[in-house]
Structures are given as C-alpha cells and as structure tokens.
Amino acid sequence: MPGQSAGLSHVQGFVAGATLEEIGVEHNTYDIIWGVNAIHVATDLKFTLKELYKILKPGGTLLIAETVRSSDGPMIQHEFVINTLDDYWNVKLDKEWRPNCGFMKWTDWLKALEAAGFDVYETVPNMKEVEKELTCVQLIGMK
C-alpha cells in the first residue's frame, strides 16, 4: 500500500450509504484525514462528516481544503463548469448549514463540523479577516 514505508496508510474505495465500519474501517484509527475539494460533493455531508469523525483517534485532525462562497447568492466562477455534473446537484440539503448545492460558505462549513461533533473547528487563514479576498480555505476539525 502506498505510504506504508513511512508508516502511513489510506482508505481506498467507498460504498454509498455504508458506514466506514461496514467496509472495514475501525473507529479511532487515524491521526489525520486529509482531502482536497472532495467532501463538498458528499451526497449526505452530515453522515460523511460524522463517519470521518468516528474513525479519527482522540486528538485526531480532519484537514480539508475546499473552495468556498463568501456569501449567499449566485454560483461563483468555479461552479460554472462543475454544475453540469450530476453529483453537484445530488446532495442532501440542510437549512441550517447546507442550504445550497455546490460550494458552501465557510461559515456553513464551521457549522457542519460542529454538528458532526468536532470539538475544535477553524479556517486557515482566518476567514473572518480575509473572506472577501479568498475563495479557497483550509478547514480544520479536531476530535
């Protein structure tokens, strides 16, 4: 498996609707989970984030980089092409923190991480200071 010589491992493959435990991933296993522009297309973001939370060790970190919207409103430039994909529209919406398809506001990401059970959740850089300048952010959730 790639990375094993460095003591790293990864999970490859996914079964829609199955828990990670059902596909052989044990709870409290990983120190870090890392993803880039992938989690926002999860059909059920709440379910997905809760599953990722479960497999992190206590003190583990979820680190994701996501394109974000700075406000409610029309699609941002990055979405003009990807909105033609079925997975863009095939998501479970939640009025509290997933009110639209596609990219989410950074504030909604923080609400989603909190709802999934993460004890610490933040953006890097601090989006409160730079939200009008950036459309990509790293989100950190710690167990």
pLDDT single digits (tens) 29-79: 999 999 988 898 899 999 999 999 999 999 999 999 998 887 777 777 778
Quote the pLDDT of residue 10.
59
Which tokens in the block code for residue 58? 């206590």
Q: Is residue 78 within 8 Å of 134, Cβ to Cβ?
A: no
Instruction: List Cα–Cα distances, 42 to 8, 76, 102, in angstroms.
Output: 24, 19, 10
- R_g (Cα) of the chain, nearest Å: 15
pTM of the model: 0.82
Q: How far apart are CA 92 and CA 42, in angstroms?
A: 9
SS3 139: strand
- Confidence band, pLDDT 50/70/90 cuts, at residue 111: very high
Which tokens in the block code for residue 16? 């829609």
Backbone angles phi, psi at 5, to 5 degrees: -65, -25
| Residue 24 CB coordination number (10 Å) | 8
Quote the pLDDT of residue 13.
56
- Confidence band, pLDDT 50/70/90 cuts, at residue 3: very low
Q: Is residue 75 within 8 Å of 105, Cβ to Cβ?
A: no
**Selected residue with higher pLDDT from 16 and 92:** 92
Render pLDDT for 77-97 as a digit per residue (tens, 0 to 9): 778 888 888 888 899 999 988
- Beta-strand pair 30-36/56-69: parallel
The proportion of the chain whose per-residue pLDDT surpasses 70, expressed as a percent, equals 87
